[in-house]
Amino acid sequence: MRKTTTKLADGRELIYFDRDESAQRDVQDRRPLEPTASLAEIRRDPVLGDWVTVAAHRQARTYHPPADECPLCPSRGERLSEIPAADYDVVVFENRFPSLAADAAVHIEAAGHPRPTAEQPLRLSRPGVGRCEVVCFTADHQASFADLDEAKARLVLEAWTDRTAELGALPEVEQVFCFENRGAEIGVTLAHPHGQIYAFPFTTPRTARMVAQAAEHRARTGRNLFEDLLAAELADPVRVVLSGEHWTAFVPFAARWPYEVHLYPNRRVAALTGLTEPERAEFPGLYLELLRRFDRLFRPAEPVPDQPAPRTPYIAAWHQAPRRNGAELALHLELFTIRRTVGKLKFLAGVESGMDAFVNDVSPEAAAQRLREVAT
């Protein structure tokens, strides 16, 4: 792998990851861009204790552009995009419309925004200092992650790992989150196959709950929660979807989503940076098979003439240990779709959105069985 770091016209960082170690990436960004100004801030919810990011400047971000104006496709001729090169393998760059930014404090102060004082405990806030990056998986606008070959998927894994290491070393960063949203139903505003990486200045609420549960389990049993969880699934594999020497994919016992799969390395590690070479080598094949099974879930029995096969909308989320209090956590990927059956979505309505109390329309055992059935 060859990693090449350069700058875009407005000073944002762009990184090429190439399989060809001799690749040369000296093309300059020719766009007349002004530097970005992020006014992101984080505010603490005094009722729940969660940090909420406020990033009003994102209202102006690019929204469903036509394919010939896609900002994630390579630049060709006079059609200039976020990627100056005419082709690429995998690219990572700083988001032009970030929810978190390294210079957020400078821009907030320059804008003259009032800052809460210590005498306002119900209005705690601070600049949204962090970083948001975009990961482009392929130059092919019509492709999807599931269309990649194993070598390209491995390159994406290397990019995730590289960014986890670099962003996790920043003093202001508490947690690194790599994820992919796919499908307009999920809310994706750019159709090009891509994911994102958030470097948070706080531990996210979901991770904080995992930390608390792992601590409680350790205090009660003397064992690690995630090791016990994986062992239990392997001992009674009714919800196991597929497995290899180094990874296991299963539908969790209390799945929230109709089709939800968790992919764990069989050896507990805290983050992507802790994976061994054999674990890295096995991951692409298993993950690609999972994604392809998700795409087979809702396909019609008979293909529709002159129409591409429908693709399942999903979210793929890497859970990694935060900087603090994360010793008990285990790296794993959670993959789920908001589709519950053909032509029907799982909407987060009253009890889910209002009370965070999920109601699943599909039993986890039935979902696992279905995912095994669509293996071919």
- How far apart are alpha carbons 21 and 176 in whole angstroms? 27
- How far apart are alpha carbons 342 and 6 in whole angstroms? 44
- Identify the sign of the CA torsion 145, 149, 155, 161: positive
- 199 contacts 167 by C-beta, under 8 angstroms: yes
pLDDT of residue 4: 97
- How far apart are alpha carbons 92 and 163 in whole angstroms? 9
pLDDT of residue 116: 63
pLDDT of residue 121: 85
CA atoms lying within 13 Å on the CB side of residue 22: 0
pLDDT in tens, the chain (376 residues): 999 999 999 999 999 999 999 999 999 999 999 888 888 999 999 999 999 999 987 877 787 899 889 999 999 999 999 999 999 999 999 999 999 999 888 877 777 776 666 668 899 999 999 999 999 999 999 999 999 999 999 999 999 999 999 999 999 999 999 999 999 999 999 999 999 999 999 999 999 999 999 999 999 999 999 999 999 999 999 999 999 999 999 999 999 999 999 999 999 999 999 999 999 999 999 999 999 999 999 987 777 776 777 899 999 999 999 999 999 999 999 999 999 998 899 999 899 999 999 999 999 999 999 999 999 7
- Which residue, 162, 160, 16, 4, is CA-closest to 89? 16
- 329 contacts 226 by C-beta, under 8 angstroms: yes
The crossing angle, in degrees rounded to 10, of helices 277-296 and 150-168 is 120
Domains (ranges, CATH) in the chain? 2-202 (3.30.428.10), 206-373 (3.30.428.10)
Instruction: Report, as residue numbers or ranges, the catalytic residues.
Output: 194
- Whole-prediction pTM: 0.95
Amino acid identity for residue 319 in this structure: H
- How far apart are alpha carbons 248 and 80 in whole angstroms? 42
- Which residue, 312, 196, 329, 328, is CA-closest to 261? 312
